[in-house]
Amino acid sequence: MNLLFTLFGGMLATAAVYGGLRSLRVGNFWAAVAASGGIGLVYIAYAAVARPGLDTVSIHLVAYPTVAVVLAQLYDTRKNQRLHWAPRLIVGLFLTVSVLFGGLAYISSHGLPQAVAQWFLPGAQGKSVHTGFAGVVEHDREAAKGIGQHLKAEHALASLGWEVEVEGVDRLSASRAAEVAIKLRDRTNRGVDPARVGLAFARPGQPAGAVSQLSRVGQGRYLAHVGPLEAGTWVAHLVIEAGTRTIAIERTIEVR
């Protein structure tokens, strides 16, 4: 699920639940507690399945109570005077941090919208620009280990004399399915056949999803039909198995 929906949608849901409870004459304090706690528990259940990462989870679990606190302070009918400037400053700070962190987390994986990117990148009109954060690795890996994996794959291909051609991943769209083709060639330019070729996709910094096996059509060519993906930056994980050798290749792509 898109981070914009979970973060800002959850903040709106917190406000809606609070307003609904207040309309049912629930006390101001308990309406705020129930709204933030209820939406927070729903998100925790979702996060246990989706595993978005502790940084993303912490942003959500700060944002929901902040909205509830703001509403509780604004609509506390027992107070006959304005709220002191210090609590207002703290609440405003938490709201600003929630929006800022949420925006940065979204840009890191999806990149800037094309219309917004044109403001900061002159000459970007009509071009596919990559504005997602670079250098992001999986949470359970170190950067050096990821670099070592890439070098290991390059060494394995060089020792086997194989050449890998990937077609179609640059044409993946958020609105329609597309065909991805993998071509394996040996030193004599003949197709490597048979081999097992798998393909999986993941957001930057997240582990790869389920691996889909490509269909072998002969002469070293393997095909897969990839359904629509959400717009943004993705990492394509290609796994090639031939005999006792397994080669894993990663490639960053941009889905429009």
* 8 A C-beta contact, residue 17 and residue 43: no
Question: Among all chains, which residue has been given the structure tokens 């703001």?
Answer: 70
C-alpha to C-alpha distance for 221 and 184, rounded to whole angstroms: 7
Say which CATH superfamily domain 143-255 falls into. Immunoglobulins (2.60.40.10)
How confident is the prediction along the chain (256 residues), in pLDDT tens digits per residue?
A: 566 678 888 888 999 999 999 999 898 889 999 999 999 999 999 988 887 777 778 888 888 988 888 888 777 756 555 666 777 787 778 778 777 877 777 777 667 776 777 777 776 666 656 666 655 544 444 444 444 555 566 666 667 777 888 888 777 877 788 888 888 888 788 887 778 888 888 887 677 777 888 888 888 888 888 888 887 788 888 888 876 777 888 888 878 7
pTM over cut 0.85: no
CA dihedral 113, 4, 226, 142 (to 10 degrees): 90
